[in-house]
Amino acid sequence: MTATRHRATAVVAVLVLVAAVLGAAVSGGTASASTLTVSATAPSSLVRTACTSSSLTVEPSTTASGSTTAVVVRGLTAADLGACAGLPIRVAVADASGALLADATGTVGAADPVVDVSFPTAGAALAVVVVGGFAVPASWTDAPGPAEHVVGCEVLFDDRDEVDTSRSCELTFRADGDPRDDWFSIKIDVTTTSVQPVRWRATLDFADVSRFGFVARFVGEYQGNLVVEPVAGYCGADHRFVMITGTGWRQTVSSTNPRLLDLVGNNSSPVGNPVVACP
């Protein structure tokens, strides 16, 4: 009985949160009937549909110190990203009772949407996503994978392979450039706001089909000069985490000298400068 009551409470909280977010999204003022102009026109209809029906997951971009500065929306397929491109996306996060913790907007681009919003993640339990004015099924997770392996970019100290949290870098995924279903060609921009060159390390999950389209057996990188560190068990079905650190002429990144990861993947044959090679 208690479990049933808790589930019912959670459902009610989600419905209240959806109603609140949608209500805020469509409100923008009031109109008085006395000020409306009515004219006789031929009847017409306009049908709008959601650009996606996928079930989405909202996760923090980081959980450092029990808080995050952004959320990442996972689950949009390549077709979804094409259909939703340029549309506004609104993300709300609440606790189990429906009390709002965060509410922010962004725009759908070519990769998983990232919406900037700062809030403590402790207690977060519910998420609502609205894309182009339509509520999309969504859930909250604060554990996208092993805590030590989260997709993103980190700045390393100059003299040791430890993370320098005082500086940051970012990864921007471009759209797949290969039209074939059994190959992908994806470029990832590595950038930073630091004027001074900083060492960088990227963590990627090659089992994330929302970014790579499919789980490729073989992945390579065209330019080389990288230290590739597959995480133990990285050929699993759920996650394929690989850490990539620049070396040689690609060792550092700065605000005026970004880096580019040029990845190609397939299921049929090994690729030069291997990053992934799975049975």
What's the pLDDT score for residue 25? 46
R_g of the chain, CA atoms, integer Å:
22
The domains found in the chain, sorted by start residue, are 2-23+51-140 (2.60.40), 152-277 (2.60.40)
| CA angle centred on 110, ends 108 and 113, rounded to 5° | 40
Pairing of strands 252-253, 198-205: antiparallel
Chunked mean pLDDT (size 10), the chain, 279 residues: 44 51 46 44 64 89 70 83 91 91 89 84 90 92 58 90 90 92 95 96 91 92 88 72 92 96 94 87
Strand partners, 178: none
Q: What pLDDT does residue 26 have?
A: 42
With contact defined as beta carbons under 8 Å apart, do 266 and 205 qualify? Answer: no
pLDDT of residue 75: 83
> Looking at residue 4, what is its pLDDT?
41
Predicted local confidence at residue 43, as pLDDT: 60
Place of tokens 């208690």: 2
12-40 tens-digit pLDDT: 454 555 555 555 544 444 333 344 444 55
